Structure 1
């Protein structure tokens, strides 16, 4: 957080633009529902609006989804986000939909994830409230989990537990880091069931 806060506003914008440019090297051909966050003012987050604006202009087949926080249960609802979606800032300063069509988690193909840092194994460090940990644990195994970071991944120093969901990729100003996805278990096709 300290390293991020040391960046000047011009640097933040330039780095966010580079990250957005690199983001579009990902294969979005099969993406129909893309979950993205709205940057929190004052937190020096990557400006994800560079990505969402380009999606709206050039990827008409992709529907954007914004999270809506339940600040009591620390869970997220997933609301379809278009030009008519009313937005408002919640008690934590997060811009989110006031209302709108809720999208089932199972429809989401790609999740753009805010983070403080990640490591070379795809483990991420968030803000500590567990909103995204809870959300990611309910996503389809094949849904792409993509972090955005101003900085390159660290060596394996991010603490993690067996239930933590790893990133599939992290987009930085320099490049897209692809992390090896663990093999999914074969479905049990027992004919006796």
Structure 2
């Protein structure tokens, strides 16, 4: 299926989830996150969910990481819609967050973090295929961002749903994920795409 077909299907699937279903899925996602060995990482890029789109909620993960892995520096982005780029800031308890025009909470200020420092990037998405190709909202922010990261960065897509077999219209500018986390399991993508 194409990106536009899959984007429509998975937006509808996510929007149909009840509050109770979302709560259970988010709890199971957290349990999967707990199985990752965080001890060798220093910088973890996270995202704050768009609740109006029923995105997987990362707040419990952030709280858990702060409690059990206080050595980690958590990082979030601020979008520049003119350039299509993301700027990255350390997320601290005192970081002031404001909602941008698209409803995304972003830091007002803070310590800038270079992409090359990041060990792990959590990536929001609508759906991913068995090769790690993801479908987001179509603006390309994360593709441009991941291209600036180190080659060994771990990019974890976060999804309520298991991967589909294949996205048929992947572009040359699309950056594959290295991993996916779902409520059921962790995936590692290392297969070559046909």
TM-score (norm 1): 0.91
Give the secondary-structure state (helix, strand or coil) at the position aligned to 2:171: coil
Give the secondary-structure state (helix, strand or coil) at the position aligned to 2:88: strand
> CA-to-partner distance for each residue in 1:107-155, whole Å, 9 max, x for gaps?
0100000000000111101110111011011110101000011110000
TM-score (norm 2): 0.90
Larger Rg: 1
Distance 1:120 1:15 in 2: 20
Higher relative contact order (CA 8 A, sep 6+): 2
1:24 alignment counterpart: 34
Q: Does the aligned pair in 2 maintain the 1:118–1:158 contact within 8 Å?
A: no
Q: In the TM superposition, what are the counterparts of 1:32-181 in structure 2 within 5 Å?
A: 32-157=42-167, 159-180=169-190
Gaps of at least 5 residues in structure 1 are: 183-193
Gaps of at least 5 residues in structure 2 are: 1-10
Higher helix share: 2
* Deviation at residue 164 of structure 1 after TM alignment: 2.0
* Deviation at residue 158 of structure 1 after TM alignment: 5.1
- Write out the 4+ residue segments of structure 1 that deviate beyond 3 Å after TM superposition: none
May I ask how many residue pairs the two structures share in their alignment? 182
2:3 alignment counterpart: none
